[in-house]
Structure 1
Amino acid sequence: MTKPERVFALIDCNSFYASCERVFRLDLRTKPVVVLSNNDGCVIARSADAKPFVKMGEPYFQIKDKLRKHGIVACSSNYELYGDMSERVMTVIESMVPVSEVYSIDEAFADLTGMPGDLERLGRQIRAEVYRRTGIPVGVGIASTKTLAKLANHSAKKWQSHTGGVVDLRDEVKRNWVLKRCDAGDVWGIGRRLSSHLAAMDIRTAWELAHADAWSLRKQFSVVLEKTVRELGGTTCLELDEPDPPKKEICCSRMFGTRLTELAPIKEAVATYTSRAAEKLRAQQSLCKRLRVSIRTGMFNPDEAKYANGVLVELPYPTDDTRLLTKAAQEGVERVYREGFRYSKAEVLLLDLSQPNEITGDLFAAAQPVASEKLMGVLDAVNGRWGRGTMRLASVPVDPSWGMRREMMSQSFTTRVDELWTVYCK
């Protein structure tokens, strides 16, 4: 009995951050949109109609006039909203395919091997269902390898008026047509520098790359490029990834929205970051034995005095209790804080992480109380249902003065009860 042909699909959200902004803001439906990085620094996402006028990474303060001239709306990043919308999109995808792999916040691979019926039609059904249930437009690429599926998805967006957002490259004629019309730099994993090296070897299109000698490219560059070439030729080298193992370290750090000189607001920031890190810790069902907390000033202003320091804090026992972790982190920042400096950033790093079943019990050693586990369970359940921050430590402020500058941020339509979309009926 012959094995069925391998079939992969890549479902990728179109201009994801900008699309999230448009879902609940009807005033943005017909306007070009850009999304800015932390503290409204630079452009990190653009809607399709903004791309001809704005480059990725352009500083916001330099392009304000250009945005105004072209009627482009700038939005501060709302990561809570984007994360929640991503989960909704992935849930829809997972309900429609046998096996999926979340590749990033806005894209997922699916293994369609052995599925009966018209797979291009399935791709259109996935596209329609994701849009119906989330409002997020997606493109779907289908092919015999993950690399070709990526290229198919790129083609679906590049020629959307002809493809309707779905491309199936299992047909050889279609595949060759796309390979000849896509640059080598359009291929997954081919960055700008590698693209330049390939151009020097007269490999400029995806077609030329697919027909290059894979073994020679491996010797000159890497095994990764060899696999890319073989995948472009239709040989499966990349499988869907297994779920990632629990992280061995968890970090939470942010730039302050303004320089801080007093200890009190820095301790508030550290408490906030520790709470978030503890949520991630419990999400992967790990315990932490020690943490590192650090603070620093800005490092690029020649007129400001510079200082950076951190400290390791040992915990009495492996824990995932936000209260204990926060207490330790705040004690640590008290030890490294020095007066006379303008601080720009704090970082909390959870170390020595382990699973509960990896810890060897000691009759005389302290252990996390059962009551702590129950309390943290209630904390996560409440915040999971009603939105992050609904239940929190008193040391974590609701609207801190040191928070990131996000002066143009939309409402958190799906993650905060007080900012839900309001519908008025006559």
Structure 2
Amino acid sequence: MPIYGLIDGNSFYCSCQRAFEPGLKRKPIVVLSNNDGCAIARTREAKALGIKMGDPWHFARKRPEAKPVVWYSSNYALYADMSRRMYEVLQSRVPSVEPYSIDEMFLELTGLPGDLHGLCREIKNAVWKQAKIPTCVGWGPTKTIAKLANGLAKDHTRLEGLCDLTDPYIRAEWYAATSIDEVWGIGKQTTQKLRAMGIETVADFVALDPKTIRNILTVVGARVQAELRGQSCLALSEISATRKSIASTRTFGRLLTEWPEIREAVAHYATRAAEKLRAEQLEAAHLSILMQTNPHNGDPWYAKHVGADIEPTSDTRDLIRHATNLAQAVWSPGYRYFKAGVVLTDLRPAGGQGGLFASRAPELSNAAMAAMDAINSRFGSGVIRPSSTGLSRTWTPRASLLSARYTTRLDEIVRARSW
């Protein structure tokens, strides 16, 4: 029988902040979205104060009960690196790891010797010791059961962050006590549809006739039911699926009206998209630009999204040229722009047939981009960048509560003091 695990970082963004500031151990912490907009991560202490996911910061911070909350701007460089550290710890202890999101990873546990409960506890402790991220681990004979077990481990403190659903009798007990909306793959509309039929718990869903499930929820719902019954339908992927698109979009730190500033922002977004392309050894053959005003502040509404086929490339310089040319065609004077972005589609493996006839010499292009990526990887993102992305960059999203990038910037690492 296959055994899959799922490990999940608890309040991951907040835990990354706590990892370098031990004084925050029991304090309520909230991490905000881009532009310091709304709450996107909360510790248990913050939840207990009534801070809800999506609460706007400019309202939430004024509530009396929010006075003890420590607020942070999103620090994605830190979070991504901490996720990498967590992945490396796991990779050294299990045969295979499949990242599901920045803070969730599936584990291959099939056939491992010894006590599985003890092994998962050891994995949990190792992630805490080496990456300082508290986690929960759930495991079972399918990925859907592992995901459910992880949720139970998180919701029930008596489980101490570990939940084993490999035994069908134990599964049956939990299924009878667990709401159907806790199942991975069962969304809000599906939950409403099932509850209208009297299906309230996971046990109710599992007991339904498979043909009925297929008729109501199509093959997707039938697969979820099969997984909950212990039939593995979703294998662990050692090679991630090729991306369909790459996007780099942001709201501006302030409303922009002048073309030079918008051009800088678009060049920056193209640069970030190009870095993502090269990280996955891909090239893009289609580029789109989007630009819009703010729909909520009473400004005249303007939104446009245009695209064009391009010569397959991952060269930052080429993508900036295509992006800014398209953006200039989209930009219209007289509007206050709120957001822009670059979207790359028609992705394909780098160095394909099209590269043989590229207008820029592939060898020189690859060497230049490799050198730039290597320097930025060693000394910090953006240390070397095209001048077209700007120097002062006053349009960047607000991040007034940004912590140090402790693990990716030499000038921001933790300093030790001797007494």
Q: Aligned partners of 2:391 and 2:237: how far apart in 1?
A: 38
Structure 1 residues 168, 361: CA separation in 2 closer, same or farther (over 3 Å shift)? closer
What residue is the counterpart of 1:112 in the other structure? 109
- SS of equivalent to 1:140: strand
TM superposition shift of 1:369:
4.2
> Which residue matches 1:144?
141
**Given the superposition, is the C-alpha separation of residues 399 and 169 from structure 1 closer, same or farther in structure 2, using an over 3 Å criterion?**
farther
Which of 168, 172, 176 in structure 2 is aligned with 1:172? 168
Is the CA contact (8 Å cut-off) linking 1:211 and 1:233 kept in structure 2? no
Q: CA deviation at 1:126?
A: 0.6
Deviation at 1:326, TM superposition (A): 1.6
Q: Structure 2 counterpart of 1:321, which letter?
A: D
Partners of 1:311 and 1:142 lie apart in 2 by: 45
Partner Cα distance (1:272, 1:265) in 2: 11
Residue of structure 2 equivalent to 1:358? 352
Q: 2:248 aligns with which of 252, 257, 268?
A: 252
- Aligned residues with identical type, % of pairs: 41
TM-score normalised by length of structure 1: 0.91
Equivalent positions of 1:155-304 (< 5 A) are: 155-160=152-157, 162-241=158-237, 243-302=239-298, 304=299
Cα deviations by residue, 1:195-248 (Å, 9 ceiling, x for unpaired)? 222222222122222222222122112222222222222222221135334334
4+ residue stretches of structure 1 with deviation over 6 A?
none
Deviation larger for 180-189 or 323-332:
323-332
- After superposition, residues 58-137 of structure 1 pair within 5 angstroms as 58-66=55-63, 68-69=65-66, 71-137=68-134
Contact kept? 1:67, 1:73, Cα under 8 Å:
no
Counting matched residue pairs gives: 418
- Seen in structure 2, the aligned counterparts of structure 1 residues 102 and 67 have a Cα distance that, compared at 3 Å, is farther
The reply on whether 1:10 has 2:3 as its aligned counterpart is no
Gaps of 5+ in 2: none
Q: 1:336 to 1:238 in 2, by over 3 A?
A: closer
Cα 1:333–1:77 shift into 2, 3 Å: same
Letter in 1 for 2:322: A
Q: Distance in 2 between matches of 1:360 and 1:30?
A: 56
Aligned letter for 1:82? Y
**3-state SS of paired residue (2:61):** helix
Give the CA deviation at 1:283. 1.4
Which residue does the alignment assign to 1:322?
316
The gaps in structure 1 that reach 5 residues or longer are none
**Alpha-carbon separation, structure 2, partners of 1:357 and 1:275:** 19
CA distance in 2, matches of 1:225, 1:185: 13
Q: C-alpha displacement at 1:353, in angstroms?
A: 3.4
Q: Say whether the 8 Å CA contact 2:140–2:146 is kept in structure 1.
A: yes
Q: Kindly tell me: are residues 399 and 424 of structure 1, through their superposed partners in 2, closer, same or farther at Cα, counting changes over 3 Å?
A: farther
What is the CA distance between 1:70 and its match in structure 2?
Answer: 5.7
Aligned-residue offset at 1:323: 2.0
What does the per-residue CA deviation read over 1:38-68, in whole Å, with 9 as the maximum and x for residues that have no partner?
1122211111222231221222222223365
Q: Distance in 1 between matches of 2:222 and 2:243?
A: 29
Distance 1:425 1:40 in 2: 36
Letter of the aligned partner of 2:107 in structure 1? A
- Amino acid corresponding to residue 112 of structure 1 in structure 2: L
Tell me the equivalent position of 2:38. Answer: 42
For the 8 Å contact 2:312–2:355, the answer to whether it is kept is no
Cα pair 2:356 2:362 within 8 Å, conserved: no
Whole-angstrom CA distance in 1 between matches of 2:354 and 2:194: 53
Deviates more, 1:247-256 or 1:282-291: 282-291
TM-score in terms of structure 2 length: 0.93
Question: Is 1:382 the equivalent of 2:375?
Answer: yes
Shift of residue 394, structure 1, vs aligned partner: 2.0
